[in-house]
Amino acid sequence: MTARKVLLIDEFDSDMALEQHLGRHGYQVATLKLQALDLPQVVQNLQPDAVVLNLYRPGDHILRMILTLNERCAVPVIMFAEDQQTDTINKVIKAGVSAYIVDGLEPRRIKAIIEVAIARFNEQQALKNELQKTKTQLEDRKHIDRAKAILIKSQGYGEEEAYHALRKLAMDRKVSIGEMARNVIAMAELLGKP
């Protein structure tokens, strides 16, 4: 198994301990300082398996950067910080941080923290993907029903005939039945026959 790539963003100039511990645990580490960093762009270029932030306190700028990161190219984010305010913890979770560790930079726990955060992130991504798939299926179902109604009204088909006609059109054009249904609806709207 190849070593996981970790992007370490360290706010503390003098402390190299986290970078050294990650290296000892077999991670490939790229370390950058926090100042004037475009995190989403860096992550897109480096494509790490995880991003680790070592901060005193996650400010609004950092939280916005993490939100943008999750929108552009989602990756597990582990944050070590000293701020244990409930408000900060809630903001960090809303931003999409996979693990928020307060005052807990123990070298022997680092590997477990990162691996659990990656596993949790992967599970959440699978759930998000499944939710999106279900939403798409529901939308497709609505479009299919509407397209069938259009075919029933305009072509005099029965419900089953309309479905089979829609399915055949989709297969002939090598598109999904949901996409074909949207095309039928669009064409009917174009011709003024919704």
Same-fold call for 5-105 versus 137-190: no
pTM greater than 0.85: no
Please say whether the beta carbons of 100 and 120 come within 8 A.
no
For the domain bounded by 137-190, which CATH number is listed?
Answer: 1.10.10.10
Please say whether the beta carbons of 181 and 144 come within 8 A.
yes
| CA-wise closest residue to 6 among 98, 118, 96 | 118
Q: What's the CATH architecture for 5-105?
A: 3-Layer(aba) Sandwich (3.40)
> What is the distance between the alpha carbons of residues 177 and 182, in angstroms, rounded to a whole number?
9
Residue 128 token pair: 């998000």
Question: What's the length of the chain?
Answer: 194
| CA-wise closest residue to 98 among 82, 81, 114, 112 | 114
> What is the distance between the alpha carbons of residues 80 and 57, in angstroms, rounded to a whole number?
9
pLDDT digit string, tens, across residues 121-138? 999 999 999 999 999 999
The domain locations on the chain are 5-105, 137-190
pLDDT digit string, tens, across residues 42-99? 888 899 999 999 888 888 888 988 998 888 888 999 998 888 889 989 999 999 899 9
